[in-house]
Amino acid sequence: MQGPFTVEELLAHPEKHLAEEAFLRTYAGEQPLYAWILHNAFRYEKPLFVPKKPGRVMFVDLSEVWP
């Protein structure tokens, strides 16, 4: 993770986040923003079905659905 960033700093690199200015400003409010740096990221050919579990908000243990 890197940061903190201001909205203006992120707007200088739209190819890295693909977020609109209005979204960044609304999401940030008065708080700084942080960026997750992903390595070896790829898109699955077909989306994986991941059952929802209480409390799971952001991270998924793919070992539950991926062989």
- Tens digit of each residue's pLDDT (9 = 90 or more) over 9-66: 999 999 999 999 999 999 999 999 999 888 888 888 998 887 777 765 666 677 777 7
Q: Positive or negative CA dihedral for 8, 11, 12, 16?
A: positive
Q: What is the pLDDT of residue 40?
A: 87
The two three-digit tokens of residue 22, written as one number: 């209005």
Q: What is the pLDDT of residue 62?
A: 74
Nearest partner of 2 among 31, 38, 41, 43, judged by Cα: 38
∠ CA 35-23-5, nearest 5°, is 30
pTM value is: 0.62
